[in-house]
Amino acid sequence: MAERKVKEDNIMIKKVVISFLLILAIVTIAQNSHSLSTQQTLSQKDQKEIIEKISALLKNYYIFPEKAKEMGFELLKRADDGNYQALSDKESFAKQMTLDLQLFSHDKHLTVQYDPQRVKELRRENSRPSGEEALAIRKRRYEEQRRNNFGFQKVENLKGNIGYLDLRIFRSTDHAAPTAIGAMSFLSNSDAIIIDLRNNVGGDSSMYLLLISYFFSSQIVHLSDLNNRLTNSTQQSWTLPFIPGQRLPDVDLYILTSRRTFSAAEAFAYDLQCLKRATIIGQSTGGGAHMATRMIVNDDFYMFMPFAGAINPISKTNWEGVGVKPDVEVPEEKALDAAYVMALKNLEKKTTDQDWKNKLSSLRHKLEENK
């Protein structure tokens, strides 16, 4: 009888515990749901504060100051007119901010993002890491770049003594200079050079300056001006007065481009084109002439904002939004063949060695027949 009583008491205790746990779970879910709802929604006061912060960031850092003032004014006016009242959802509010900013500016780089986790990461990135942590980060980045040969995918001597370089990204010369110098040394005996930027997404301006300087004499050439709102300064870019190895100011130069060609790779092609130093072959590039960065609005939102842009001293403009237009437009998969044939044809015209002329002509005809 006593055993039965103990069993019944145990069963009763288990039921009470289970009931308590179920109630606790329900309360927790409800609290989390309420918390999520609070996190995801915006009051009109919140909206106004966010728009005021966006306007301030635009005014202080956006690449075009006058346009920044106009955009800030328009956003605040729309908020005062109640245009955003129905957008209590943070995700929807961010999308609408982006749509309106791009409507006013026609700048596809300018966006507002709702991403609390990314904001936390940005704050960590903006804080200065310790010496050991900074060293570990640099080592990791160096290894990642080294394993990809700092973007130098292929260097080759094509038949007819045409140099070919397939470059996928412009890495900083802090680490990549020896590789770049080696590649240019390999190409130094070429009668013409093809640089393939069809898969180049851009990168560091120091590599752009080093490589472009090989194709001019030691007399420096003005390449571009960079207007920077973060520093309120204008930085001029000139070819380098000294480079390791041989300069190639008279070598025929051909640049291959595609829609993927972007940023510093576009600058390389655009500046050479404006100076009539290279022939651009392929497709119009991506159209990213402005430098952009992420700026924190508050704990939930950040902006992706262009703060600097290159201006070419010859064209007085850049390729933002329109891309670099090729001199010879062909599908990207045919760009290398087109450049190769053009290089051979031009070398035929230049050479006075009849035997070499015949060899170049024969090679060109074979390529044209296989097209």
Instruction: Tell me, rounded to whole angstroms, the distance of Cα 258 from its chain centroid.
Output: 15
Most confident among 22-26, 119-123, 290-294, 323-327 (mean pLDDT): 323-327
Q: Six-digit token pair at 336?
A: 């290398």
Confidence of residue 321 (pLDDT cuts 50, 70, 90): confident
Q: What is the pLDDT of residue 136?
A: 82
Which superfamily does CATH assign the domain made up of 149-293+306-344 to? 2-enoyl-CoA Hydratase; Chain A, domain 1 (3.90.226.10)
In the chain, where the domains are located: 44-114, 149-293+306-344
Better-scored residue on pLDDT, 6 or 160: 160
Reported as a single tens digit per residue, the pLDDT across 38-71 is 456 888 899 999 999 999 999 999 998 999 999 9
User: Distances in Å between the alpha carbon of 260 and those of 45, 197, 371?
Assistant: 42, 9, 24
Better-scored residue on pLDDT, 50 or 18: 50
- Tokens 């933002």 locate to 320
Q: What average pLDDT does the structure give for the chain?
A: 88
Reported as a single tens digit per residue, the pLDDT across 248-277 is 999 999 999 999 999 899 999 999 999 999
Whole-angstrom distance, CA of residue 298 vs CA of residue 303: 10
pTM, two decimals, is 0.76
- Give the pLDDT mean for 124-151: 84
Helix (H) / strand (E) containing 205? helix 205-213
Nearest 5°: phi and psi at 316? 65, 20
pLDDT over 70 percentage in the chain: 89
Reported as a single tens digit per residue, the pLDDT across 280-301 is 999 999 998 888 899 999 999 9
Reported as a single tens digit per residue, the pLDDT across 327-365 is 999 999 999 999 999 999 999 999 999 999 999 999 999
Q: Six-digit token pair at 100?
A: 């309106």
Reported as a single tens digit per residue, the pLDDT across 195-250 is 999 999 998 999 999 999 999 999 999 999 998 999 989 999 999 999 999 999 99
Q: What is the pLDDT of residue 24?
A: 42
- The DSSP 8-state label assigned to residue 217 in this structure reads -
Instruction: Tell me, rounded to whole angstroms, the distance of Cα 285 from its chain centroid.
Output: 13
